[in-house]
Amino acid sequence: MKLSFMTFLYPQLEYKALIEKAKKFNYHGIEFRAEANHKHGVELDSAPAIIKEVRQAMADAGLETSCLATSVKFANADKSDRDSNLERLNRFIDLASAVDTSCIRFFADPIPNSGRGKRAESYAFQSEYIIKACEKATQMKIKLCLETHSVFRAYDAGELLFRTGYPSAFWINWHLEHCLNHGEDVDEAYRHVKGRVKHAHFSMSPHIERQMELLAIENFDGFFSLEMMPNESEDGIDKIVADQSKGWWENFQKLGLE
């Protein structure tokens, strides 16, 4: 079980400065958020030489790229939009391999909640595209991590896992806060994603200790990644990053995971 932060904390910093922050505040890695105008340089249109520099700098610092966070989703009823997202995801798979991460985050929301079969319809076409995406991901040994996000709960993630037949490349990014916000408690949410969590986001959840405890039982070896978008000075953000690192390590030690 390891600790990283997403670059939403420091969107203005280039990769060298991000590495300095990670080492200063006792993090194991960095999660690069693509498609968000961050300054780290890990993007689809980045020159291969830049990606090579980032990969080497991370390795030299003893850090890992915990995940490549994207905006990809297959939730649109418009097939042309899903086709476009599939093409983009295939390019991100190449980028993930180049920067040396085995994890890509993608979304599945919004999902309908209006009856008349709309929810089942969304499950069906999203499952179809996830299966297609898993073809290249499997070949490249990349795990596609679907985030429990907004109205898309752990229940919905479990449904897509079932409908896709649990492909080896299809995993879950368990962002607990979103589950809690939409009526799932920690243990209830866990039942739907048990055994398929590759990555986890957190942002000051009071229930993170229980989440860590549940994942420790299955020997989870992925990252807990701090994801926040604070509107504060860099000093203020540093304090948040330091405090969250301290709290995470305290829970880690309390659970006997040293």
Contact criterion met (CB below 8 Å) for 190 and 229: no
Q: Which tens digits make up the pLDDT trace of 181-209?
A: 999 999 999 999 999 999 999 997 778 99
Domains and CATH numbers, the chain: 2-254 (3.20.20.150)
Rounded to whole angstroms, how far apart are CA atoms 77 and 96? 27
Q: Which tens digits make up the pLDDT trace of 37-54?
A: 999 999 999 999 999 999
Q: Which tens digits make up the pLDDT trace of 3-45?
A: 999 999 999 999 999 999 999 999 999 999 999 999 999 999 9
Q: Where are the beta strands (DSSP E) in the chain?
A: 2-6, 29-33, 64-73, 103-107, 143-147, 170-175, 197-202, 223-226
Q: Dmax over Cα atoms in the chain, in whole Å? A: 55
Q: Which tens digits make up the pLDDT trace of 90-121?
A: 999 999 999 999 999 999 999 998 778 999 99
Q: Which tens digits make up the pLDDT trace of 51-88?
A: 999 999 999 999 999 999 999 999 999 999 999 999 99
Axis crossing angle, helix 186-193 with helix 208-217, rounded to the nearest 10 = 30
Q: Which tens digits make up the pLDDT trace of 160-184?
A: 999 999 999 999 999 999 999 999 9
Amino acid 12 reads Q
Mean pLDDT for the chain overall = 96
Residue in 211, 249, 189 with CA at minimum distance from that of residue 25: 249
Buried-exposed string 17-56: b where 16+ CB fall within 10 A, e elsewhere:
ebbebbeebebbbbbbbbebebebbbbeebeeeebeebbe
Residue in 128, 127, 182, 132 with CA at minimum distance from that of residue 154: 182
What torsion, rounded to 10 degrees, do the Cα atoms 201, 203, 206, 207 define? -10
Axis crossing angle, helix 154-164 with helix 186-193, rounded to the nearest 10 = 10
